[in-house]
Amino acid sequence: MEKIIIFAVLTVFSMVVSGFYFIYKGTDANRKFARAFMKLNLFVFAPIFVFGLISLVPQMASAATASTGGNGLGFLAAGLSTGLASLGAGVAVSNVGSAAIGAVSEDPNILGKSMIYLGLAEGIAIYGLIISIMILGRL
């Protein structure tokens, strides 16, 4: 339990550093300052993440396999497939949505075409959910 608390505290600390990037946008001096904070965040967060993977995941996986009869990594795979697919869909929808809004503001007749592309980007999350359901069906 202590390892989880230490990991959570260090992760929150490293994420606070990335908040300075969004606060200090503006002049060139502030951008250089913010870039330095982002580099610090990369050098702090990456080792913390590796430490957490090495020290916490095997214990959680072994605890999950002991209590559920060997299905712990299957549940982990189902969660990762849904989570990562949803994250990718969010990035795709944000990029496609902003481009679609700009295009529709110039020509309102292409609203339907832009919605098709937005739906295709959202389909990524649905594919991840289907894979997750298939994994859970095999457990």
User: Looking at residue 105, which CATH number applies to its domain?
Assistant: 1.20.20.10
What are the structure tokens assigned to 7, written together? Answer: 């990991």
pLDDT in tens, 14-48: 666 666 656 655 566 666 776 777 777 777 777 77
2 and 61 co-located in one domain: yes
- What pLDDT does 43 receive? 78
CA torsion sign, 27 to 32 to 33 to 37?
Answer: positive
60 and 76 co-located in one domain: no
58 and 75 co-located in one domain: no
30 and 50 co-located in one domain: yes
The reported pTM is 0.50
Residue range(s) defining the domain that contains residue 77: 71-138
Instruction: Using the predicted structure, report yes or no on whether residue 65 has a pLDDT greater than 60.
Output: no
pLDDT in tens, 72-114: 788 888 889 999 999 999 898 988 988 898 999 998 898 888 8
Q: Structurally, how many domains does the chain consist of?
A: 2
pLDDT in tens, 116-137: 988 888 888 899 999 999 998 9
Instruction: Using the predicted structure, report yes or no on whether residue 68 has a pLDDT greater than 90.
Output: no
